[in-house]
């Protein structure tokens, strides 16, 4: 149900995203995102050393037209730190609205 991202396409995208360090970099490289997810996700750091657990939320800039087979997600945390993930595009039927 999902496209396979070839090693060639993965390498091409890695070359494009390797210098993305900020949200502005992502917009400069890819343009306006297809959608912005807020929050786009999060993760929890467990309690330790007498500190409470901490939940990190981040926004996600999703780019669906950067590749024929991959979706590019640019995750931006509350400090502006950026990480990027790639995954195969959904090939199934569009949901009925």
Per-residue pLDDT of the chain (97 residues; tens, 9 = 90+): 899 999 999 999 999 999 999 999 999 999 999 999 998 888 888 999 889 998 888 999 999 999 999 999 999 998 899 999 999 999 988 777 7
Q: How many C-alpha atoms does 39 have within 13 Å on its Cβ side?
A: 9
pTM given for the model: 0.84
What is the rounded CA–CA span in Å between residue 69 and residue 51? 43
Cβ within 8 Å of residue 52, ≥6 positions away: none
């Amino acid at each position: 149900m999902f496209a396979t991202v070839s090693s060639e396409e993965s390498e091409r995208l890695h070359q494009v995203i390797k210098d993305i360090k900020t949200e502005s970099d992502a917009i400069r490289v890819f343009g306006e995102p297809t959608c912005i997810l807020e929050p786009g996700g999060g993760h929890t750091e467990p309690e330790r050393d007498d500190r409470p657990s901490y939940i990190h939320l981040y926004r996600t800039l999703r780019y669906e037209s950067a590749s024929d087979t991959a979706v590019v997600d640019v995750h931006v945390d509350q400090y502006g730190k950026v990480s990027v993930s790639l995954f195969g595009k959904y090939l199934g039927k569009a949901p009925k609205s």
